[in-house]
Structure 1
Amino acid sequence: MKNRKLSWLAMFIALSAAGAFIKIPAVIGSVALDSLPALMAAGLLGGPAGAAVGGIGHLLSAIIAGMPLGPFHFLVGGEMVLLVYVYGLLYRNGKPWSAAALFILGNSFAAPLPFIMLMGKSFYLAIVPSLFIGSILNTVLAYVVLPKVARVLGHLLPFSRQA
């Protein structure tokens, strides 16, 4: 990996950690803006880079929150890796609406499905509204900011079209 790309990746991970401190109150715990930098990285640097930021960013956010789900955060981190990776693939293939819809629906409704078996249906029903609001907020911000950042930083990101 080029040093320049690695530096951008580190910056997005740091932004994800900073976003973890911006909390949105939720029924269970809180939802944070830690996904926004991951979606930005996926759009600018490609799916694999965005996936790395998403997975690491989620774990940093969980640590900051005190790991309320314990080791289940590794499962959620894996789901975030997959969702951000696919978001990056769709976004960079000219399908930003599909990427946004997939991320919102996947993160809000599909990702918490394993918790029905692990923690019960009531946990799922309690967490989905908060995840939905957080997913919409993270995705809409990325959808609005990403094209502007790409336009401004395009000359600084010669590798941004490489997936």
Structure 2
Amino acid sequence: MNGKKISLLALFIGISVVGASLKIPAIIGSVALDAFPALLAATFFGGGAGAIVAGVGHMISALLGGMPMGPLHFVVAVEMALLALLFAYTWKRKWLASVLFIFGNAILAPIPFIYIYDWAFYVALVPSLLIGSIVNTAVALLLISRIQHIFTRGVVKG
């Protein structure tokens, strides 16, 4: 990875920090707009870059929210990284990538917490995660279509 890509990854992580401060009301305070920069990075630079932005972005979002689930946020960061990878690998079919990200983030990712906490926690968390996933994905899709030319034939090409 060259210096230009590392700098852009740092920029996307910075955008994720800003998004992390834009919270969506939830039973747990870490549902935020921190995922859309990871989807942008996954689209423009590949799954690995998107995974880095997703994992770091979630951890910063959790720190800003007070780490309400403690070290379990590391599990969520890994899940977010895997979802960014999946988004990158299915991106040629934009709607499939979007639906898989939303379903994975809102329905599948919180499943381990059924066993750690209980069903009530899962049921309380899913609506907020669903709204957050839809908003993050919609913002990413809107921005991808608006700035894609910069990454394909503009300043950042190569």
- State if a TM-score over 0.5 links the two structures: yes
Aligned residue in 1 for 2:112 = 114
Distance in 1, matches of 2:145 and 2:24, equals 25
Residues 96-135 of structure 1: pairs in structure 2 closer than 5 A: 96-135=94-133
Matched with 1:156 is 155
Listed as ranges, the gaps of 5+ residues in structure 1 are none
Q: Distance in 1 between matches of 2:29 and 2:157?
A: 40
Superposed displacement of residue 111, structure 1: 0.1
1:46-85 aligned at under 5 Å gives the runs: 46-85=46-85
- Counterpart amino acid of 1:33? L
The residue type equivalent to 2:42 in the other structure is A
* SS of equivalent residue, structure 2 residue 98: helix
Separation in 2, partners of 1:32, 1:98: 22
Deviates further, 38-47 or 26-35: 26-35
How far has the Cα of 1:30 moved from its partner? 4.7
Q: Larger relative contact order (C-alpha < 8 A, sep ≥ 6)?
A: 1
Match of 2:68, SS state, is coil
Distance in 2 (alpha carbons) for counterparts of 1:117 and 1:9:
34
Q: CA RMSD in A?
A: 1.0
Paired residues, number: 157
1:67 is paired with a residue of what secondary structure? Answer: coil
Give the structure-1-normalised TM-score. Answer: 0.93
Question: How far did residue 53 of structure 1 move?
Answer: 0.1
Task: Indicate the SS of the match to 2:24.
Answer: strand
> What secondary structure is seen at the aligned counterpart in 2 of 1:32?
coil
| TM-score between both structures, scaled by the size of structure 2 | 0.96
Q: For each residue in 1:86-106, what CA deviation from the matched residue of structure 2 results, as whole angstroms up to 9, or x when unmatched?
A: 101111xx1111110000000
Structure 2 alignment gaps of length 5 or more = none
Distance 1:35 1:69, change over 3 A: same
Q: What is the identity, as a one-letter code, of the residue corresponding to 2:21?
A: F
Instruction: Compute the displacement of 1:66 (Å).
Output: 0.7
